[in-house]
Structures are given as structure tokens and as C-alpha cells.
A and B are shown apart, each in its own frame.
Chain A
Amino acid sequence: MALSKVDGTNFIAPTIPVASGGTGAITLAAAGLANTPAFHARTSTDQNLTRSTAVLIVNFVEDFDVGSCFASNRFTVPSGEGGKYGVYFSLSCNTGAAGGDGELIKGDIYKNGAYLTGFRSILEDNGSSNMYISNYTATLTGVTTLSAADYLELYATTADQDASGTVQSNSHTIFGAYKLIGA
């Protein structure tokens, strides 16, 4: 039988980066050869937002979380996992409870508590036209470099024209990220 594990010193060793059972089906056993950490989460309930204020989106439920990187509505880069990450969100909002006269829907990614420049999706009128947003989904996909312990969150800023009610983010707003290999 051929050797199945080699570490450079011993012919039989505990771990190699890539293992196969002889069938060509690969098992990844080492960090750096997988698009992980990776997670995908979506909100379980609607959330009331404060007018013209950046509000943290909460009530996320994980669809998957490889590497236990997502908790408390926050993606945190685990120790030893710094690198480039693909990041995406889809922030769904409605202005029904505010009278259907939305003038601003904005989604931002925050890094370590501050707006991550460029990671913004927005629809805004000039506040004096007759354009009334009833529903809008702000979406974004991008790549950013992160270090271990850096964290990302999703914030929403909204406004209605007559300040008469509350804009909501809808359930099933989504947020996800995954690590790029070798980038």
C-alpha cells in the first residue's frame, strides 16, 4: 500500500494538508486550502429602525457557520484567519409603517465599529421630489482585507419624507462572508 501521510520528517504523520482515501475524493485537513471561515445568516424578524440614524441589524439566524465566526450579529475573523474575504449583504426595507414615503434606504458594512469605506448601497431622493419609496432592497458584494479579530456588522440608515413613522428592515435580510484562498 502506498503511503497516505507524509510530513517531510516521518513517512507516517498525523496531518497533511490534503488527504484522499484513494478514490480521488479529497478531504481538506489544513487551514488555507478551503474558503473558510464562511457563514451565511438571515434575519428572522422585522426590525424597527430609527429615522436618519445608523442602526445595527440584529436577530440574525445562521444558515451555516463554518469556523464559528458569526455570533451576536457580528462576523469576527478567528485567530490565524486573517486574509481577504468576500462579503455580501442584501438589506430589505419597507416604509409601510411610515406612510410609504421613503426617501432614503442605505446599507453599510461597519468594520470594527466604523463605516468601511465603499461598502455601501443606497437609494436616496433629494427630499423635495415626488418620489416615494415603498420598498427597497440594498445589495452589495465586495472583497476586503481583514486581520484576526477584525469584525464586520451590517447597519441600516433610513428616512421617510414627513418623519411620520418607522421604517422597517424586513425579515430575511441576509449577510454572509467567506475567505479567499491564497489572495
Chain B
Amino acid sequence: MGSIIKVNEYKDFNNNAILTSDGAGVVTPNASGIKNTPAFEAYLGTTAGITDATWVKATFDTERFDTDGTFASDKFTPAVAGKYVCYTGCRLGNDGANTLTHAMYAFYKNGAAYLISTTPTVLFNSGSYGINNFGAMLTQTIDLDADDYIEVYVYCDTSTGSPDLIHGSFFGAYKIIGA
């Protein structure tokens, strides 16, 4: 036979809060282990010029949210070990010159390219027309230690015009629970 226990707070025996409820059915998870945090998302507010045909660290100057202060200097350092869904959407352009022939971007883990073969890439044959800009989104679940860090790097090769990382490009991550 089942029974019901009514509580507004659920704590462990050392008084650490696990769950609370406001009595109206709105439950707040308190313990970090039952939240998809740390979590952040940041974006680039103003289009930034980048060096042609060179892997360049992407900048994201504006935070949409950053639950635990784990994003700074265009770098995510989780502070808590776990598996993190990391995602980024970048758009690379060349001032409308329509000569973009090679574009890539990738996650870097601790300063080195992470699974570089999975990077969103477009590369055209030398005899091909180029394009104006390239945008795509990359998602990867990455196992991170507390002091590991993730950055986004981009690459853009264009024969004329100046390569840009276009405003609105974004970068985010959140911890997945129980994995």
C-alpha cells in the first residue's frame, strides 16, 4: 500500500538542501547534482575581422547567461567534472566578396583541437566558384575535468575581401545529469 509524505524541503542529514517546494507545486532543485549546471551561453555582438587562412580563437563578447561564472575570456572552464553538451554556431564571411573557398571551426580542449575531423567545414575545389559566407552549428558531448577548458577556433580562407566572424555567432555548454 502506498502512502504520501508532504514536505516543502528535502535535505540530507547534514542539512544540505536537495529539493525545495513553494507549496504550490513549484519545485526548486538545490543540489548541483540534479541541475544542468554549470551552464552558459555567449555570443558575438559585433562582427570581428579575423586573419585570413589561419586558425583563430573566436571571441564571444556578450553573455546571455552564465550560471556559475564559468565563462571568461572566451573560454569555458567548468570547475565541476562531468560530461558537457558543448555547442556553437558560427558564421564566417568575407565582406560579400563571394570568394570564400575554405571555412572551418572547431572546439579546442586545453588549447588543442578536439576531434578536428568533426569540425564543420566547407572546402571548394580550386576550380570552383567561392561563396559569400558559411554558417553551421556543431554540438559535441565532451568529458571534462574541473580544470579543463573549451574554446572555439575558426578558420576562413578567401582570395579577396577580409574574413570576418559575423555577429550573432554563439557558444554555449551545459552539464548533463547522471551521465
Which A residues fall within an 8 A CB radius of B? 1-4, 6, 8-9, 18, 20-28, 33-36, 38, 40, 42, 63-64, 66, 86, 88, 90, 92, 100-101, 121, 123, 129-137, 139-141, 170-174, 176, 178, 181
Q: Are B179 and A35 in contact (CB under 8 A)?
A: yes
How far, in angstroms, from A174 to B106 measured CA to CA in the complex?
A: 13
A134 with B123: CB separation less than 8 A: yes
Q: Is the CB of B19 within 8 A of A23?
A: no
Indicate if the CB atoms of A88 and B139 lie closer than 8 Å: yes
Q: How far is the CA of A159 from the CA of B14 in the complex (A)?
A: 63
Check B31 against A18 for contact (C-beta < 8 Å): yes
Say which one of B64-72, B112-120, B145-153, B158-166 lies at the interface with A: B112-120
Closest chain B residue, CB of each to CB of A95? B125
Q: B17 to chain A: which residues have CB within 8 Å? A: 24
Asked whether B179 lies within 8 Å of A178 as measured between CB atoms, the reply is yes
Contact partner of B143 among A9, A63, A140, A176, CB < 8 A? Answer: A63
| Cross-chain contact B87 with A24 (CB below 8 angstroms) | no
Q: Does B127 contact A (CB under 8 A)?
A: yes
Binary interface encoding of chain B residues 1-43 relative to chain A, with 1 for a CB under 8 A from any of its CBs, else 0 = 1111100001011101111000000000001111010000000
**A133-B124, A172-B117 known; A66+B178 contact, CB < 8 A:** yes
User: Complex: how many Å from CA A90 to CA B106?
Assistant: 11
Q: Are A42 and B115 in contact (CB under 8 A)?
A: yes
A28 touching B177 in the complex, CB below 8 Å, given contacts A20-B12, A132-B125 = yes
- A63-B143, A66-B179, A139-B138 given; 11 more Cβ-contact pairs under 8 Å: A18-B19, A18-B33, A25-B31, A33-B34, A36-B178, A36-B179, A64-B179, A88-B139, A92-B118, A132-B127, A176-B141
